[in-house]
C-alpha cells in the first residue's frame, strides 16, 4: 500500500532520557511525542518491542508477542498507585548517555518484583479487572510465555534446551507440575505484561492525539531461546533435543566478509502452510495492536533465505532456499485485511525479491549512505531514481551515524580504503553541491526533498552526533543498543529546522 507523504524520526524507546537507567514509557516518552509534533513529524519509528536476552538485542527476544518490562515507567507506576516513591529512594544513579544493561536490568527487576508482590494489595478493582481481561484475551501466547519466563528464572536463564528433558519436550505432566510449582512467577510475568501493555496503549493514544503513527519492527525470524520456539517446536527445524538443525543468517556482504551468523532457527514453512499460517496471523495481529505500520526485517527471506548448517562456525557455508512467497501474505491479508508493511529489502536483493515486494505493493527501503559507494551499482541507489512508494533513510540502526560515516577512517568502523573514502566524498559533495561542513543536514534535506512518500531520519543525525552514538554494529557482539540522548542536545533551533524542512517538502499535515 502507498502511504501519505510524511516524515518521521527513528528512535528506540530505550534511547529516551530518564532517571532510571534506560528510556521508558513515562513522562519523557510523552515529551518526545510533543517534540515530534514541534518538529512537524508524523512518524515515530522504533525497533522491536520484545523482551531482550543475551546481547540485549531487540532482534533476539524471548517472545515475539511480549513487550519488554524494562520499559515500564516507574513514574507511572507511582501515579497509578502500584508503587510508592519510597521504593525508589535508594535506586542507583546511572549514566544519562548510555544504557549499562548489566547493572540496569537487576536494579529495575527488583523494583518490578516489588510491584508484583504488592499487586493484590495495591491494585484497584478496575486494575484487577483489566488485568484479568488482558490475560484472557492474550492467553494464546501469554500462558506459554509466562511459564517459559518462570522456567528461565528457575534455571538461572539457561537456554530451554538444557532443562529437564520432560520440560524440553513439553510433557504435559511435567508442564502441569511446573505450573503448580512456579505459579507465583507465572503470575508475576503476566502482571508485568499487562502493565507494559497498559502503559504502551496510553502512550499510543497520545500519538493518535498528535497525529503521529508508530512504525514498529519485527524480525522475520525468532530467537531460538524463546517461548516461540519452545512452545511451537513443530514449526521450526529442530532436532529431538530442541537444537536447530539449520539456522538463519546472511552471506558475506557490505557489513561482514564472512556474512552474519544470526543463529535463529528456520521455519518449517510446510508446517506453517498446513495450518493456514495460523501462527503468523496471530503474530501480525498482535503487532498491529501495538503499532500502525510494521517494518519487517529481512523481507527477502520470504522469497528465499540463507540456510546455514546448525554447527557451522560462520555464515559463509550456507545456501539459498525458497521461502513461502505470496502464499503467506495472501493468508495474512485474508485474515487481517490491509497490511501497512514496510519491506526491509537491503543487502543482496534479486529480481524475484523485487517482484514479490512489488506484487504485494509494499514500500521498500533506500539508504542514502549506500547511494554514493560502489561505482558499479551506485546509480541504482541514487536519490533522483528513488520510487515514490518506498521509504528513504539517511541511515538505519545498523549504520553508523551520518557524521560518523562521513568522517570514518580505514579500519575504524569501515571496510573501505582511504582511496575509496576519498572518491566517495568527492561524489557526495559534488552531488550535494556541499562543502561537507553540515553533512548530516545535507543528507537530511536530500532525504526530505526526495520522491519517496516516507522519509525517516535517525535522531542521531538531527543531533549531528558521531560514531559514539551509533546504535548497532552488525557482526559485533558487544557494546550495541546502548545509546541515549539528553534533552539539552535537542536544541530549539534543531526542532525548528526540521519543521521548516518538513513544511518546505510537504511532509507535514499541519
User: Would you report the helix, strand and coil content of the chain in percent, each value rounded to 5?
Assistant: 45, 15, 40
Question: CA 225, CA 236: separation in Å to the nearest integer?
Answer: 12
Question: Whose grid coordinates read 504485494?
Answer: 360
Cell 533476539 -> residue:
60
Distance CA 479, CA 241 (A): 32
The residue annotated as part of the active site, out of 56, 344, 424, 442, is: 344
User: Is 398 known to be catalytic?
Assistant: yes
CA distance 357 to 326: 9
**Which of 259, 266, 247 has the alpha carbon at shortest distance from 315?**
259
Catalytic residue among 24, 144, 398, 400: 398
Task: State how far Cα 204 lies from the chain centre.
Answer: 16
Residue 198 catalytic? no
Of 297, 303, 424, 453, catalytic: 297
Per the annotation, the verdict on 330 as an active-site residue is no
Q: Is 96 helix (H, G, I), strand (E, B) or coil?
A: coil
Task: Give the β-pairing of 341-343 and 293-297.
Answer: parallel
CA dist., res. 203 & res. 185, Å (int) = 27
Cβ atoms < 10 Å from Cβ of 234: 10
* DSSP tag of 72: -
What grid cell was written down for 405?
Answer: 560515516
User: Which grid coordinates are listed for 12?
Assistant: 528506540
HSE-CB of 7 using CA atoms within 13 angstroms = 34
Q: What are phi and psi of 10, to 5 degrees?
A: -90, 115
Name the β-bridge partners of 250: 260
Return the C-alpha cell found at 314: 560462520
Handedness of CA 89, 90, 95, 98 (dihedral sign): negative
Sequence length of the chain is: 510
Contact (CB, 8 A) for 265 and 238: yes
Range list of H helices, 69-124 = 74-79, 101-117, 119-122
Which residues are identified as catalytic?
297, 344, 398
Amino acid at each position: 500500500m502507498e502511504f501519505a507523504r510524511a516524515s518521521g524520526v527513528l528512535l528506540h524507546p530505550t534511547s529516551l532520557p530518564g532517571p532510571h537507567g534506560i528510556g521508558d514509557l513515562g513522562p519523557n516518552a510523552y515529551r518526545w511525542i510533543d517534540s515530534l509534533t514541534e518538529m512537524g513529524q508524523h512518524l515515530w519509528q522504533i525497533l522491536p518491542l520484545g523482551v531482550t536476552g543475551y546481547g540485549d538485542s531487540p532482534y533476539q527476544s524471548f517472545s515475539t508477542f511480549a513487550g519488554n518490562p524494562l520499559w515500564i515507567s516507574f513514574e507511572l507506576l507511582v501515579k497509578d498507585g502500584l508503587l510508592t516513591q519510597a521504593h525508589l529512594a535508594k535506586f542507583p544513579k546511572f549514566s544519562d548517555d548510555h544504557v549499562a544493561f548489566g547493572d540496569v536490568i537487576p536494579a529495575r527487576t527488583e523494583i518490578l518484583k516489588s510491584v508484583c508482590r504488592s499487586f493484590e494489595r495495591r491494585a484497584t478493582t478496575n486494575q484487577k479487572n483489566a488485568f484479568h481481561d488482558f490475560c484472557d484475551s492474550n492467553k494464546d501466547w501469554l500462558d506459554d510465555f509466562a511459564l517459559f519466563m518462570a522456567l528461565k528464572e528457575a534455571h538461572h536463564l539457561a537456554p530451554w534446551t538444557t532443562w529437564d528433558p520432560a520440560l524440553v519436550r513439553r510433557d504435559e505432566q511435567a508442564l502441569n507440575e511446573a505450573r503448580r510449582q512456579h505459579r507465583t512467577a507465572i503470575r508475576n510475568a503476566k502482571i508485568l505484561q499487562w502493565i507494559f501493555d497498559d502503559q504502551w496503549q496510553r502512550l499510543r493514544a497520545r500519538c493518535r492525539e498528535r497525529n503521529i503513527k508508530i512504525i514498529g519492527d519485527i524480525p522475520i525470524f525468532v530467537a531460538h531461546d524463546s517461548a516461540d520456539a519452545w512452545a511451537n517446536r513443530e514449526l521450526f527445524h529442530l532436532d529431538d533435543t530442541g537444537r536447530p538443525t539449520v539456522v538463519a543468517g546472511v552471506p558475506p556482504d557490505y557489513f561482514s566478509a564472512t556474512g552474519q551468523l544470526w543463529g535463529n532457527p528456520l521455519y518449517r514453512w510446510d508446517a506453517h502452510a498446513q495450518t493456514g499460517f495460523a501462527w503468523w496471523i496471530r503474530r501480525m495481529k498482535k503487532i498491529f495492536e501495538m503499532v500502525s505500520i510494521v517494518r519487517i526485517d529481512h523481507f527477502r527471506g520470504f522469497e528465499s533465505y540463507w540456510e546455514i548448517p546448525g554447527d557451522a562456525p560462520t555464515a559463509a557455508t550456507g545456501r539459498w532456499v525458497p521461502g513461502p512467497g505470496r502464499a503467506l501474505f495472501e493468508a495474512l491479508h485474508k485474515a487481517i485485511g490491509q497490511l501497512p508493511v514496510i519491506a526491509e529489502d537491503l543487502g543482496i536483493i534479486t529480481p524475484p525479491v523485487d517482484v514479490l515486494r512489488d506484487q504485494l505493493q509494499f514500500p521498500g527501503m533506500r539508504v542514502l549512505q549506500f547511494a554514493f559507494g560502489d561505482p558499479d551499482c551506485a546509480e541504482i541507489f541514487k536519490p533522483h531514481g528513488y520510487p515514490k512508494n518506498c521509504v528513504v533513510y539517511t541511515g538505519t540502526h545498523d549504520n553508523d551515524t551520518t557524521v560518523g560515516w562521513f568522517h570514518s577512517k580505514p579500519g575504524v568502523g569501515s571496510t573501505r580504503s582511504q582511496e575509496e573514502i576519498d572518491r566517495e566524498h568527492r561524489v557526495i559533495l559534488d552531488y550535494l553541491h556541499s562543502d561537507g561542513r553540515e553533512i548530516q543536514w545535507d543528507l537530511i534535506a536530500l532525504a526530505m526533498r526526495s520522491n519517496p512518500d516516507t522519509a525517516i531520519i535517525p535522531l542521531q543525525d538531527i543531533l549531528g552526533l558521531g560514531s559514539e552514538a551509533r546504535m548497532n554494529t552488525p557482526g559485533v557482539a558487544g557494546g550495541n543498543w546502548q545509546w541515549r540522548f539528553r534533552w539539552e542536545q535537542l536544541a530549539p533551533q534543531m526542532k525548528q529546522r526540521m519543521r521548516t524542512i518538513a513544511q518546505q517538502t510537504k511532509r507535514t499535515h499541519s
